[in-house]
Amino acid sequence: VSTQSTGTPSYPYFNRDRSFIPDEDKRREMVVRYVRRLDLPVAQQKVTEEKIMEYSEKFMLAAHFLHGCWGIVQADVSELQFGYLEYSLACFQAYFEHKILNNL
């Protein structure tokens, strides 16, 4: 679950778009391909794949949280016409959805 600015022409000037985020199967496929290119011993590959998957889920949380905080700050300091508070709320909503769905 994520948010992405899509250049929406009306306020708040963004849409929450989850379609560009790969599902768990696609993410795992990317990790498996990456780990294979590391040329690790076979016994270590599965452990490395699982660790990367675990870390990536946690980093997704961190990204949502960081963007939520950024939106709050920008709502106060930016002169641009943009729904920063709405963006922040969408990021925090994505944070909690991801946290709950993944038992983090």
DSSP 25-94: HHHHHHHHHHHHHTT--HHHHHHHHHHHHHHHHHHHHHHHHHHHHHHHHHHHH--S-S-HHHHHHHHHHH
% the chain with pLDDT above 70: 93
Distances (CA, A) of 91 to 6, 11, 29, 73: 15, 17, 26, 13
Q: Which pLDDT belongs to residue 5? A: 53
22 confidence band (pLDDT: 50, 70, 90):
confident
Mean pLDDT of 72-90: 96
Q: Assess whether the previous peptide bond of 12 is cis (omega < 30° from 0).
A: yes
**Mean pLDDT, the chain, as a whole number?**
90
pLDDT attached to residue 17: 82
Query: Is a pLDDT exceeding 80 seen at residue 1?
Result: no
Q: Are 74 and 84 in contact (CB under 8 A)?
A: yes
pLDDT at 2: 46
Stretch among 20-24, 28-32, 92-96 having the lowest mean pLDDT: 20-24
Distance CA 12, CA 30 (A): 33
